Amino acid sequence: MNPLREALVRWAREQGYPIAFSRPAILDLARAEIEGRNRAGEFEPGFYRTVLAEAFSYPEDVELPRVTSVIVLAVPRPAHRLTFHLGGGPFQAVVPPTYASYSEVPEVIRGEILAGPLRGGYGLRTLWAPLKNIAARLGLAAYGRNNITYAPGFGSYHQLVCFVTEADLVSGAADPLKGTPGGAAASSPALMCPECAGCDACSRACPAGAIGHDRFLLHTERCLTFMNEHHVPWPDWLPASAHNAIIGCLICQRACPLNRGLLRYEDLEPAFTLEETAALLAGADGGGPLWRAVEEKSDALGLPGLEDVAPRNLSALLLAPGPEGGGALRVEADSRVAADSRVRTGGRVSADSLEGGGIGG
């Protein structure tokens, strides 16, 4: 019997958050696996350097006298529609789940925990560890073939949140790390959703060919999300129709049978005005008060740094045919957008290709 743990479980159940606990050793296991895969050359070097090596934190990075327990939760998240005003009217771009307020969500939950089940002076710190790996080891979620984790009831539309604390939440409960060779939990490939066996819906849907059958890991260098988050040039082989969100990508998740009926949308406000959208498409070269207003609005939307990638991504999205793109209907409504789009896509999409297409959202 562990009263603190039971209080946290009750609180999480009331919130609708699946929750799991472990000893700090699980962080070492996750780190060792990722570093081992990197040494084996399984990660694209740029991805490891700019995403994995710099983004993750571990117990030695937090200010606590000691770390006794690890808490991991799965929090359901909706996708969003973000409105940009153009000369021909509003255009709604998709923002996949977890992007909006990504850093704020753990801090809100941390405050609720400290005000509720862990009130009484316990230290609790947010940890940006390899959360998918850890959640899969704890049975909180399972990997899909697309390397995204799936949680029961939420599918892949959730955000994993991790905390470390000095409170003892593991005594009196089964040890999730016990009974595995050398004290280590199973490696990631063994933690894939059983439904993925024999299913290739995500790999068939991926327009970039990033989800292969030759290995467990995604081919990150071909993933549209990696490209549009990190200014990777659009390759010539990437179809214009691949662009489906202002940042990130939802194609493989929408195609997944495990996500059927689970995707929700909410409007993200405030919208970008006509002047702000024009400034955004022009990029930082415009400078001045209007660009500062764009930066402030990105922050207010819970999308800090959006202005760094949106000029190129929005241009590509406006030119994309299909339900998420603007096609000629929106691009031709404002010649400045069409000209800017052709420049930022490196001339890959010509004016002659601006035919048809739906309105995003």
> What does the pLDDT average to over 59-76?
87
3-state secondary structure 82-99: EEEEECCEEEEEEECCCC
Give the three-class secondary structure for 81.
strand
The answer to whether residues 48 and 38 touch, using CB atoms and an 8 Å cutoff, is: yes
Residue 51 has pLDDT above 80, yes or no: no
Task: List the beta bridge partners of residue 75.
Answer: 159
Cβ-count burial of 352 within 10 angstroms (0-12 exposed, 13-18 middle, 19+ buried)?
exposed
Whole-angstrom distance, CA of residue 55 vs CA of residue 233: 22
Would you state the pLDDT for residue 117?
A: 95
What are the tens digits of pLDDT across the range 328-358?
A: 334 333 333 433 333 333 322 211 222 222 2
Average pLDDT, the chain: 83
Query: Which residue did the predictor score with more confidence, 234 or 358?
Result: 234
The answer to whether residues 306 and 298 touch, using CB atoms and an 8 Å cutoff, is: yes
What are the tens digits of pLDDT across the range 259-294?
A: 999 999 999 999 999 999 999 998 876 578 899 999
Q: Where are the domains of the chain?
A: 3-77+95-191, 201-353
Whole-angstrom distance, CA of residue 241 vs CA of residue 322: 6
What are the tens digits of pLDDT across the range 80-110?
A: 999 999 998 999 999 999 999 999 999 999 9
